[in-house]
Chain A
Amino acid sequence: DAGVIQSPRHEVTEMGQEVTLRCKPISGHDYLFWYRQTMMRGLELLIYFNNNVPIDDSGMPEDRFSAKMPNASFSTLKIQPSEPRDSAVYFCASSFGGQGTQYFGPGTRLLVL
């Protein structure tokens, strides 16, 4: 298996632009997680899905952030409009079962100018 796949790996955009991050979980995994990592705030859980249904989005910072999982093999995290404070590394992770090992993708490094 190729592991969790994220795209793009790097994204540089200007403030106010829409940003879409993509994730393909490991086949057969039923949980998908979106995290954000910054020096100031560490690793934060933004939202997670079970069987494509959002379970907890309490970590989503603002209405500018939205996440979807239209099917078991694809999820997106969208930021619209983006702001410089959104600059961070965004990780997607997947697991089999809520207590299963979470496998992280390589992350998307986002820079908002």
Chain B
Amino acid sequence: QQQVKQSPQSLIVQKGGISIINCAYENTAFDYFPWYQQFPGKGPALLIAIRPDVSEKKEGRFTISFNKSAKQFSLHIMDSQPGDSATYFCAVNTNAGKSTFGDGTTLTVKP
């Protein structure tokens, strides 16, 4: 049973555009929702994370929107840049620290 579903699988955006990646989860036992960014040949790195007691968190050009009732959260990248081209993973964490990752979204930002 897949606990977190991520979409789209791939995304192409023009420079300056908005990139939106969505995740939906199935279990209400999760209480921490991070997004990771991974460049080829590197390990994932935490980009931004949110807890379920807030509906939105913004850090620079990156924003997480969280809808607890719908069990969905999304990553918005404003003013997308070619350097943002990478694979993005959402994850859901239990309070015991166990992480389950989405399948990833490959983002390509065209100059």
Contacts and interface: CB of A to CB of B under 8 A. Distances in A.
Interface of A: 4, 31, 33, 42-45, 48, 50, 55-56, 91, 93, 95, 97-99, 101-107
A42 to B, nearest CB: 5
Given A42-B104, A43-B104, A104 B44 contact: yes
B43 interface: yes
B61 interface: no
A45 B43 contact: no
A45 B104 contact: no
A48 B43 CA distance: 17
B22 interface: no
Contacts, number: 55
Nearest to B46: A101
A42 B44 CA distance: 12
Interface residues of B, number: 22
Interface stretch (B62-70, B78-86, B89-97): B89-97
A67 B31 CA distance: 27
Given A43-B89, A48-B97, 6 more contacts: A45-B99, A45-B100, A48-B98, A56-B96, A98-B95, A99-B93
A4 B42 CA distance: 12
Contacts of B89: 43
Interface of B: 31-32, 34, 41-46, 49, 89, 93, 95-104
Given A102-B46, A104-B44, A50 B104 contact: no
Contacts of B102: 42
A48 B93 CA distance: 13
B99 A33 contact: yes
Contacts of B44: 43, 91, 104
A45 B93 CA distance: 11
B103 A45 contact: no
